[in-house]
């Protein structure tokens, strides 16, 4: 007996399996380049006013559990832990001590609060607090 249900069973199974294969980017996408900050949640000062000269950058060092970069003008190194789409940053270690305005303080405070990450369809890295983007980075231009 060839009922309509049996004829469409393979198609139904294919559709159901396709719905369950939403792929999230692997952590490999984080490595191999520097990310430059282009958005920072919180401060009421315009982004360009917070970082008039140098935009903060972050680079994920694979295998050693540290990020390195600059937070506006001072360099930093901080531990991080990744578990799937969850991320947690530790306290930045020793840094240079130049005063460069309030942008750096906001950057360092917010990065300590984030608990997740995602890549957008446009290839931007967002660091999240819950589902809310707190920081957004673009791939930095090679120098």
Domain spans of the chain?
A: 25-139
Note if the pTM is more than 0.95.
no
Encode pLDDT of 27-56 as tens digits.
888 998 899 999 999 878 889 889 988 999
Residue 18 — φ and ψ, nearest 5°? -65, -35
Look-up: residue for tokens 């003008």?
73
Encode pLDDT of 123-132 as tens digits.
999 999 999 9
Encode pLDDT of 4-13 as tens digits.
444 544 433 3
Note whether 111 and 59 are within 8 A (CB). no
For position 91, what pLDDT does the model report? 85
25-139, CATH topology level:
Lipocalin (2.40.128)
């Amino acid at each position: 007996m060839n009922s309509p249900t049996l004829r469409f069973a393979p198609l139904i199974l294919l559709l159901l399996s396709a719905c369950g294969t939403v792929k999230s980017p692997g952590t490999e996408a984080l490595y191999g380049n520097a990310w430059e900050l282009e958005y920072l949640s919180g401060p009421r000062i315009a982004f360009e006013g917070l970082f008039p000269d140098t935009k903060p950058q972050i680079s994920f060092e694979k295998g050693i559990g540290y990020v390195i970069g600059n937070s506006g003008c001072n360099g930093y190194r901080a531990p991080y832990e990744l578990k799937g789409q969850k991320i947690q940053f530790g306290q930045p270690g020793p840094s240079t001590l130049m005063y460069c305005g309030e942008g750096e303080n906001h950057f360092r405070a917010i990065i300590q609060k984030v608990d997740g990450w995602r890549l957008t369809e446009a290839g931007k890295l967002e660091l999240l607090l819950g589902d809310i983007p707190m920081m957004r980075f673009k791939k930095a231009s090679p120098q």
